[in-house]
Structure 1
């Protein structure tokens, strides 16, 4: 029987999945190390367990002790998993910019969560670093793990993430790109890959408001680079000891908006519901497309699952409030609002009587005329009625082909309502659109009025 002794034994050996639609403009293959398959749905499970094992081995963490950590949520989850199995108490400090889902998940795992202000310096006694350090001094038999400077963090990725990537790509990996926060993932994984092949490029994704990129390029820690940002899980206002800048070939900065929008695209186009920093990593890669060649194989390493961000980047209201989504509705918004999304057409050889019956049954004011999958024309309710009234007995048995108009225009689901208005006219009351799955929809004047 293949049975794990406990949940900690399921950490690692995550799958590699190729990306297609979101990287269509790149000249090479791009694959993603999908770390959401870890039991805590995050890559941080790897280093959380490693830090606990190492702390147990050298006596820093004793039986019945208390785990204390400052975390954006994911490292806390990795530590909480280990605590559940091994019987430790957990106290986590976090910043108020993190998603509520992260707080709730940590509490569900039995941890105590203390929320601290984001917009203070690391040295401020209110910061989540300082509060964690203070608690570790006040609480007997406790240990502050300090993932930023605890080198077990990057060692976990040297021992597991790096070897897995090398094996899964059969040693063909040419680039690795990943968001940088504590620096453990990029430094540990990058060191292993460069030991196998020094030519492998290691790219780090940074965010505006973080010090990493400028420090890497100039050696200057510039406090003017530090300002609040929304992206979670990457970027820092400190220089963690886990960041080995000698391993990293380049830092690419990505805006809050571009990271959030790309995360949503990954969900909608690739079926990958991932975290904020995953969107930043792929957005950063697209910004670097001119550095890639056809024979390259890029590995994107991601941090966590999109379930942590349901109230944020996957919430339309949250996105619009920050200007990350256009306030103007698009065709895909009209589709989402349609109560009856059925797409029905009629063949040109059908009788006008059949067309009228079909329009009455479905309350259609207009219909496409189709031959198989192809639209060859359109019929409008008023045309059908006028044709029948002119000669009720004879015209009812004539074919639809005799009264059909030109086909309805086909438009993109991303078209805005202002652009759509150029296609919807008195003579042309509807358009046809096709979503990413290939399903067709008829969007009419009535649909626009309902949405407005």
Structure 2
């Protein structure tokens, strides 16, 4: 609201600054001969992400319907951005705010929620959907038990996709002068790609959903990934997979699956080659958009939605040590872990926690170094067709010799010890060895070697000494 002067718009409230975010053209990382790629800078919203749009829309809708009473409490389960948007709206409109947040959320996001005066309830992020600690389950219970509590429920609230159909999609169409040919957006709740996609499809635009490689949306195995706030994780002990009601899967023409490594390395390129400091879901969208650009050719125009800023991921995606120890980045110091351990056979021998000791001896054979076998959460399939395992799915370790004499019908998971320590394949071998020694790892103890956050082989600690 307010008059526009020579210095720009004047708003009566911070909430009036939501939307109308700029488009920025990428100049240095677009493939030669490909379509131009423009990015929708959603971190320019006052709360710092695309979720500001849905947060305000959901609150206004709840006020109009009477679901949210004056002085009430806004409750939501969130990986951070929706909570930050709702916390900003709550502060501006006089509500209390309580957010259930998974324990994998960055410290920066937690600090922002606290800065707005919100109450944060941490909970394990990797539990079955039926578990009462699950983010959505716990948030629903808190809302029901709180006087004048209102659950925003971004996963099922139609105001989420509707605001993108009314604002985000039309903005992109107008900003490109109707020249856009492809929209690329990640799907978390699915609100952005559904709403903006609905509007742009009516103009003949091809809609591409960008998805982490292991996310269930694109057909992955549902195992954990390292790009926050996008995709669909599925705990293998969840009874029935349930997708967000707001995600209309008929809107995207196709899904572009992108591995964590490609996404996070794109994040780094955007900062260093384009001057754009963005989060992991933005790196995912741009990585997919670059593929779309190469296929579309120079006559196309690709727009990618960049949900948030890299400022809330400085402790992860821009931390060299974090990336290196997970196998996403190579250290400057040589030799690297992969140089020291040498070639290894593809495939990691593992024991699903639900198999019996008898089945383990019959199927796994001698096991890895020292007879040690990582114990993992069982998954029906591995999305990329190779025997690698996301670190959070490795829940323990057993040594076959120590299982001798135990009942053959016992489940392996009952007897598992702690999961093995990990090293990145591009970590400096001396640094990795020193880190393990400081942690008290014995020379014969098993160690998982990671590539892009997934275990690819197992070694003994002593192997790092060359």
TM-score by length of 2: 0.67
The equivalent of 1:268 in structure 2 is 272
Paired with 1:284 and 1:311, the residues of 2 have a C-alpha distance of 24
The equivalent of 1:225 in structure 2 is 221
1:309 and 2:313 matched: yes
RMSD between aligned residues: 1.6
1:236 and 2:235 matched: no
Q: 1:388-436, CA deviations, whole angstroms, 9 ceiling, x for partnerless residues?
A: xxxxxxxxxxxxxxxxxxxxxxxxxxxxx9xxxxxxxxxxxxxxxxxxx
The equivalent of 2:434 in structure 1 is none
Secondary structure class of the residue paired with 2:58: helix
Paired with 1:289 and 1:157, the residues of 2 have a C-alpha distance of 23
Paired with 1:16 and 1:290, the residues of 2 have a C-alpha distance of 20
Paired with 2:35 and 2:294, the residues of 1 have a C-alpha distance of 11
Paired with 1:56 and 1:37, the residues of 2 have a C-alpha distance of 26
Residue 281 of structure 2: which of 277, 295, 301 is its match?
277
Residue 259 of structure 2: which of 255, 262, 273 is its match?
255
Contact 1:26–1:292 (CA under 8 A) maintained in structure 2 = no
Paired with 1:59 and 1:329, the residues of 2 have a C-alpha distance of 61
Contact 2:31–2:290 (CA under 8 A) maintained in structure 1 = no
Paired with 1:36 and 1:160, the residues of 2 have a C-alpha distance of 15
Paired with 1:169 and 1:229, the residues of 2 have a C-alpha distance of 33
1:200 and 2:205 matched: yes
1:165 and 2:172 matched: yes
TM-score by length of 1: 0.69
1:32-431 matches, within 5 Å, as: 32-195=39-202, 197=203, 199-214=204-219, 225-237=221-233, 238-329=242-333
The equivalent of 2:412 in structure 1 is none
* Aligned residue pair count: 320
Secondary structure class of the residue paired with 2:48: coil
By percentage of residues, which structure has more helix?
Answer: 1
Pairwise CA distance, 1:289:
4.6
Paired with 1:125 and 1:313, the residues of 2 have a C-alpha distance of 31
Paired with 2:189 and 2:228, the residues of 1 have a C-alpha distance of 12
Secondary structure class of the residue paired with 1:206: strand
Mark the runs of 5 or more structure 1 residues left unpaired by the alignment: 215-223, 331-416, 418-452
Secondary structure class of the residue paired with 1:97: coil
Paired with 1:85 and 1:289, the residues of 2 have a C-alpha distance of 40
